[in-house]
Each structure stands twice: as structure tokens, then as C-alpha cells.
Amino acid sequence: MTGTVLGERTKAGWAWAMRVAATGEVLLVLLQAATAGQLLEGVASARTLHGAGAIPVSVFAVAELVVAAVLWRQGRSPAWPVWASAALVVMTVVQAMLGGMGNRALHVPFGVGLVVLASVLAAWSWRSRPSTVERAAP
């Protein structure tokens, strides 16, 4: 196996890593939405699951940011997924703080924003075909 073939497989692996991270993030935020609905209906046991769900949501958001940055640095992705992933990380932290403070007035709509942004990134990860992207020099 030549270095070029191995390099291309590694680059393809990063594209798949983005798909896995982005899809996992969407599934996790949808699970959060489901447990939030249970909480609003008064299901007390959902509180533990909803609170614990913040950790994997944050972990997947950070993974998504790392992979998006690698793809961008390889010249195989535009910069916007990096910025969107960074926003997702910040949003997950703010969301966890709002939930911990019990501020439903901001926590619920902010959660909707998380679902939207995570969905946009997941859709992009599956629709895009990472290749050489023209980008400005840093």
C-alpha cells in the first residue's frame, strides 16, 4: 500500500468520523428532547436521565469540533462547520448551565436551537463529499 492510498483512506476516515460524531450528536439531542418532554409531563424519573444526558451531548459536540477542524486543516472542508461546531460546544455548556439553574424559559428554546444546529451539521456531513476546498491563507 502506497503512502498516497493510505493518506486518502485516512482522509476518508475523517469524513466518516464527522458523520458518526454529527449523527451521534443529533440522536443525543433528540433523546434530550424526549426526556425534556417527559419532565414537562411530570415524569420524575426522567430528571436523572435528562441531567446525565448533558455529558454525552457535550462530548460528542467536542468530538465534532475536533473532526471538523481536522477536515478544514486538510483543506477538505469549508471553515463554517468548524465555527458551527464551536458554537455547538458553547451552546451545550450554556444549555447545561441553564438547565442546572432551572431556567426553563431559556433552557427549552435553547434546546430547540441545539437540535437545529446539530441537524444542520449532520445533514452537511452526509451530503458533502470532502475534497480540496479553496480557502484563504491564514
* pLDDT tens for each residue of 72-98: 998 888 999 999 999 999 999 999 999
What's the CA gap between 127 and 130, in Å, rounded?
Answer: 10
What's the CA gap between 86 and 69, in Å, rounded?
Answer: 10
pLDDT at site 137: 44
| 120, pLDDT greater than 60 | yes
Report which secondary-structure segment, H or E, holds 46: helix 46-73
pLDDT at site 84: 97
| Alpha carbon distance, N-terminus to C-terminus of the chain | 33
pLDDT confidence band for 134 (50 / 70 / 90): very low
56, 92, 106, 121, 135 from 53: Cα distances, Å: 6, 11, 18, 20, 37
Rounded to the nearest integer, the mean pLDDT of the chain is 88
pLDDT at site 17: 94
pLDDT confidence band for 3 (50 / 70 / 90): very low
pLDDT confidence band for 126 (50 / 70 / 90): very high
